[in-house]
Amino acid sequence: MEALLSAIPWGPVLILLPLAAGIVCFVFPSTAKTVGLLTVTLVPLAVAGLGWRLLAHGVYHHAIGGWGAPLGIDLQADGLSLLMLAMTAVVGFGVSLYATGYFKAEKSGRFWPLWLFLLAALNALFLSGDLFNLYVTLEMIGLAAVAMTALEGARGALVGAMRYLLATLVGSLAYLLGVALLYHGYGTVDLGLLAARVTPSPAAWAALGLMSAGLILKTALFPLHFWLPRAHASAPAPVSALLSALVVKGSFYILLRLWLEIFSPMSGGVAGLLGLLGGAAVLWGSSQALRQTRVKLLVAYSTVAQVGYLFLAFPLAAGMGLTAWSAVVYLAVSHALAKAAMFLAAGNLMRFGGHDRIVDLDRVVQRLPLTAGAFALAGVSIMGLPPSGGFNGKWLLLQAAVTQGRWDIVGVVVIGGLLAAGYIFKVLGHTFTQADVPHEPIAVPARMQWAAVLLAGGAILLGFLAPPFLALLAVGNPFAAGGAGS
Amino acid sequence: MSIASLYALVGVGLFCIGLHAVIAYDHLLRKILAINVMGSGVFLILIALARRGGIVAPDPVPHAMVITGIVVAVSATALALGLMLKVAAATGRAELGDEGGD
Amino acid sequence: MKWTHWLLLPLLLALAAGLGYAVLSLPDRAQGLQSAVAAQLDQSGVTNPVTAVLLNFRGYDTLLEMVVLLLALLGVWSLGASAPACSQSTPGPVLDTLMRLLVPVLVVVAGYLLWAGAHAPGGAFQAGALLGAAGVLLNLTGGRLRHGLGRVALRVALVAGTVAFMAVALLTLLGGRALLEYPPAHAGILILLIEAAATVSIGVTLAALFLGNDATSEREQ
C-alpha cells in the first residue's frame, strides 16, 4: 500500500486529471455535470495523496521528461504549495456543488470545461518550479477566468470581463519581460537555480520591478485594483467565488515565491512599498465596501481590502519571517474559504429576491436561514473574530507587528477590522428587516445553500486547526530559503 | 553596443510605446493592438539576446519560448476581439465607458 | 488622449531608460542553454534544436499552450451569438479561382512544414497556422467551411492535438517513467504523431476562432 502511494505521480495526476475531465466535458456537454462533480471529488483525494507523500518523504520533486532543470521543467511541492492546492481543492468542491444547482443546461455545458481547465491551471501553477511555465499557467488562468466572467452575457459582465482581460494581459506581459531579463542574465528560468545565481544587478532589479508590477496588477493590490470590483461583482455567483478566492491567490503565490527564493537579498525598500500599498488597500477597500448599496459589490471591495492584509506582512518579514509568512498563508487560505462562501451566499440572495440591493433584503434570516448563517460565519472570519482562520491570521500578523514595534501596521489592522465589522453588520442588519416592497421569493436549491455553509464552516474550522496547519506549512522549509525566514 | 543589444533596445521601446497606448487610448481595438505591440517588444528582446557575443549557434530555448508566446498572444487577442464585439453590441460603442483608461 | 495621460510620458520615458540600461548591462556572451541542448539533442528524437526544446525538453509548456488555444475558442463560443463575420455573397471569379489554387497549396505546404520540423525550421504550430489561414480563406470566399464538420467531429478535431499529447503523457506515466519522458528510441515517432494531431487541431481552432460563434455550436443545445 505504501509502495503504491509512493509510486503514484501525484503532481502530474493533479494536473492531468482536471485537463482530461475538461476535454471530456467539452466534447460531450451532456456529461458535463457528472464528470465535473466526479473530478472535483477526486482532486481533494489526490491532494491528500500528495500530502501523505510530502509528510513521508519530504519535498516533492518531479522532473518532467526526465531531463531536470535547467534543460527541462521541474514540478516541486513543499508545505506552502500543498496548502494552496488543498485550498483550491476544497473551495473548488464547494463551488462545484453550488454550480450544479446554479447553471441551467446550456450554460452548464460551457461552465464545466472552463472551470475544469481553470482547476488544472491552478494546480499546475502551485506545482510549477519554472518561471516560463508559470507564465503559461497564468495565461491559462486569465483566459479561463475572463471567459467565465462573461458567461452569462450581461452587459456589466461583458464590460467587466473586457477590462479584466486587458489588465491581465498587460500584467502577464510585464511578468514575461521580467522572465526574459532573468533568463538572459542568468541562463535559466528554474526557480531553484535562479535562487542560487541571482545577484543584485540592473537586470535583476528591472526584473524584480517588472514581475512585481505585473503580479500586483493581477492580484489587484491598490492602486492597481481598478478592474476587480466590477469584474467580480458582475460575474455569475460561482464564478465570482472562484475569482476572489482562488484566481487572485495564484498570482500572489508566484509573487511570494519570487520574493522568498530569488529576490530576498534585494528586498529592503520594495518591501516597505508593498506594505504601504497593502495598508492603503485595507483602508480604501474597507471604506469603499461600507459605501456600497449592493451585496456583490460590497463583497468585491472586501476582496480588495483582504488582499491588502496579505501585503502587510512583507515589511515585517525581515525581522520575524516565519510568523509573518505564516500569517500571510493563514489569511490567504481563510480568505479563500470565507470569500467564496460570501459570494455563494450573495448568489443565493440574488436568486431568492431577484436583486442584491442591501436595503431591500427582505427577512432573509427567516426565509433563508442557511444563507444568512453562511454569510455571518464567513463574516466572522473576514472580521478576524475568534474562533476562525481569519482570527489566527490576524493574530500572527499583529504578533509580528507588535514585536517589531510597527504600530502603524497594528493600527491599520485594527481599523481594518472595525471597518470590516461595519460592512458585514450592514448586510446582516438588513437581513433581519422587512423590505419596503416585499418580493415574491424564488426557491433556492438546498445544495446551493449548503455549499455556502460548508465553505463558511471551513473558514471557522481553520481557527481550530492551527497546529496541523502550521506543521504542514513547515514541510520543506519554504520560508527559510534566501534568508528571509527567522 | 552590439547588434543584439540594438534589437533589444528596440524591443524595450516597443514595450513602452505599447504600454502608453494601452493606458492612454479609449478605443478597445487600439488597446488590443497596443497589447500586441507590447508582446512583440517582449518577443523581440527574447530573440535578439539569444545570440550574443559571436556564438555561432543561437540559443534555441528563447525561440521556443517565443513560439509559445505567439500562440498565447494569438489566443488572447482572439478572445479580446470577440469580447470587444460583444461589448460594442451591448453598449453601442467599442470603449470601456465609465472609468475607461488605465 | 486625456491630459492626465500626458503625465504618463515622463514616467514611461523613465521606464524605457531603466529597461534600456538593464538590457545594456547584460553580459556580452550569451550564457544560455545552447550547449545543454546540443549535448542532449541526439536523445531527443529530432535534429532541429527548437523542435527538440518545444516538443521534448519543454514539451509540458507546449501541452499547456495547446490548452490555452482551446480555452480561447471556448471563451469565444461561450460569449454567445454575435453579428455574422462575413456576408454570404458569392465570390467573384478572380477570388474564386485564386482560392481554388491557393488552398491546396497551403495544405501541401503545411504538410511539408510538419514533416520538415524534425530537421529544419518548421513544426506543428507553423503548419497549423497555414491550415488556419486556408480555413480563413475558404470562409472569406463563400463560407463553405460551415458545412464541413458535424458537431462532435468538429470538437474531436479541436481536441485531437491535446488528447494525443495527453495520451503520450499518460503512457509515459504508466510505463513508470517521468511525465512526458519519451523512450529515446521512439521519441522521433512520438513527436511526429503528436505534431500531426496538433497541426490539425491548431488549424481547425484558428479557423474556428476567425468564424466566431458559428452555427454548429448554437444548434447543439
Model pLDDT for residues A389-437, shown as the tens digit of each residue: 999 999 999 999 999 888 999 999 999 999 999 999 999 988 888 777 7
C79 and B86 within 8 Å at the Cβ level: the answer is yes
pLDDT at residue B102 in the model: 36
Residue A305 has pLDDT above 50, yes or no: yes
| DSSP-derived 3-state class of residue A474 | coil
Cis peptide bond N-terminal to A223, omega within 30: yes
CB C12 within 8 A of CB B16: yes
Backbone angles phi, psi at C175, to 5 degrees: -80, 10
Among chain C residues, the shortest Cα distance to A19 is held by C67
Partners of B41 on chain A (C-beta within 8 Å) are 177
CB A332 within 8 A of CB A310: yes
User: A259 is written with which cell numbers?
Assistant: 520574493
* Mean pLDDT taken over chain A: 91
Residues of chain B with pLDDT under 50: 99-102
User: C212 is written with which cell numbers?
Assistant: 466566431
Q: How many CA atoms lie within 13 A of A69 on its CB side?
A: 22
User: Which has more pLDDT, B85 or C92?
Assistant: B85
Residues A207-225 have a mean pLDDT of 93
pLDDT at residue A271 in the model: 87
φ/ψ bin of A103: left (φ > 0), alpha (ψ from -120 to 50), beta (otherwise): beta
User: A86 is written with which cell numbers?
Assistant: 488543498
Residue A244 has pLDDT above 90, yes or no: yes
Residue C134 has pLDDT above 70, yes or no: yes
Interface test with A, best of B55, B87, B93, B98 (most A CBs within 10 A): B87
Residue C81 has pLDDT above 80, yes or no: no
User: Which has more pLDDT, A307 or C150?
Assistant: A307
Residue A482 has pLDDT above 70, yes or no: no
pLDDT at residue A444 in the model: 85
CB A272 within 8 A of CB A125: no
Residue A160 has pLDDT above 50, yes or no: yes
pLDDT at residue B101 in the model: 36
Rounded CA Rg of chain C = 22
pLDDT at residue C145 in the model: 54
Backbone angles phi, psi at A444, to 5 degrees: -110, 125
B84 and A163 within 8 Å at the Cβ level: the answer is no
Distance between CA A29 and CA A50 in Å, rounded? 30
pLDDT at residue A475 in the model: 86
Residues A279-300 have a mean pLDDT of 93
A26-30, A129-133, A329-333, C76-80, range with the lowest pLDDT: C76-80
Burial A195-232 (b: 16+ CB within 10 A, else e): bebbeebbbbbbbbbbbbbbbbbbbbbbebbbbbbbbb
Question: Within an 8 Å CB–CB cutoff, is residue A153 touching chain B?
Answer: yes
Burial C154-165 (b: 16+ CB within 10 A, else e): bbbbbbbbbbbb
Which tens digits make up the pLDDT trace of C142-195?
655 555 567 888 899 999 999 999 999 999 999 888 899 999 889 999 999 999
Chain A touching partners, 3 or more CB pairs below 8 A? B, C
CB C118 within 8 A of CB C48: yes
C37, C60, C162 member nearest A71 (Cβ): C37
> B1 to chain A, minimum CA–CA distance in Å?
16
> A51 to chain C, minimum CA–CA distance in Å?
19
> C113 to chain B, minimum CA–CA distance in Å?
15
Among chain A residues, the shortest Cα distance to C54 is held by A72
Which tens digits make up the pLDDT trace of A139-156?
999 999 999 999 988 888
Question: Within an 8 Å CB–CB cutoff, is residue A106 touching chain C?
Answer: yes
Distance of CA A428 to the CA centre of its chain: 24
CB A383 within 8 A of CB A456: no
User: C134 is written with which cell numbers?
Assistant: 486556408
Rounded CA Rg of chain A = 21
Question: Within an 8 Å CB–CB cutoff, is residue B49 touching chain C?
Answer: yes
Reported confidence tier of residue A330, pLDDT bands at 50, 70, 90: very high
Partners of A151 on chain B (C-beta within 8 Å) are none
User: A105 is written with which cell numbers?
Assistant: 443546461
Residues A264-280 have a mean pLDDT of 85
CB C65 within 8 A of CB C201: no
Question: Within an 8 Å CB–CB cutoff, is residue A183 touching chain B?
Answer: yes
Residues C193-206 have a mean pLDDT of 95
pLDDT at residue C219 in the model: 43
Distance between CA C98 and CA C110 in Å, rounded? 18
End-to-end CA distance of chain B: 35
In single-letter form, the type of residue at position A318 comes to A
Number of helices followed by number of strands (H, E) in chain B: 3, 0
DSSP label of A75? E
Residue A393: CB atoms within 10 Å: 29
Distance of CA C61 to the CA centre of its chain: 12
Residues A97-116 have a mean pLDDT of 91
Residue partners of A379: CB distance under 8 A and separation at least 6: A338, A342, A420, A424, A425, A427, A428
pLDDT at residue A359 in the model: 83
Kindly give the interhelix angle for B60-91 and A155-186, rounded to the nearest 10 degrees. Answer: 170
- Nearest Cα to Cα of residue A10 among A45, A55, A56: A45
Distance between CA C77 and CA C75 in Å, rounded? 5
Which tens digits make up the pLDDT trace of B61-82?
999 999 999 999 999 999 999 9
User: Which has more pLDDT, A366 or C13?
Assistant: C13
Q: How many CA atoms lie within 13 A of A286 on its CB side?
A: 25
Which tens digits make up the pLDDT trace of C4-49?
777 888 999 999 999 999 999 988 776 778 888 989 998 888 999 9
- Nearest Cα to Cα of residue C160 among C129, C191, C198: C198
Distance between CA C75 and CA C70 in Å, rounded? 9
C8, C9, C65 member nearest B68 (Cβ): C65
CB A33 within 8 A of CB A41: no
Distance between CA C162 and CA A15 in Å, rounded? 13
Residue A276 has pLDDT above 80, yes or no: yes
State the fold for domain B3-91: Helix Hairpins (1.10.287)
Q: Provide the percentage of residues in chain A whose pLDDT is more than 90.
A: 70
CB A313 within 8 A of CB A327: yes
Residues A150-179 have a mean pLDDT of 94
Distance of CA B79 to the CA centre of its chain: 15
Distance between CA C143 and CA C154 in Å, rounded? 16
A158 and B87 within 8 Å at the Cβ level: the answer is yes
B22 and A170 within 8 Å at the Cβ level: the answer is yes
- For B98-102, the CB contacts below 8 A with 24+ separation are B99/A163, B99/A226, B100/B26, B101/B23, B101/B24, B101/B26, B101/C2, B101/C4, B101/C5, B102/A226, B102/B23
* Domain ranges across chain A: 276-486
Kindly give the interhelix angle for A369-383 and A446-461, rounded to the nearest 10 degrees. Answer: 30
Residues A64-79 have a mean pLDDT of 90
A224-228, A307-311, A357-361, C121-125, range with the lowest pLDDT: A357-361
Reported confidence tier of residue A178, pLDDT bands at 50, 70, 90: very high
Q: Provide the percentage of residues in chain A whose pLDDT is more than 70.
A: 98
- pTM for this model (two decimals): 0.95
User: C192 is written with which cell numbers?
Assistant: 511526429
Residue A486 has pLDDT above 90, yes or no: no
Distance between CA A282 and CA A186 in Å, rounded? 37
Chain C touching partners, 3 or more CB pairs below 8 A? A, B
Rounded CA Rg of chain B = 17
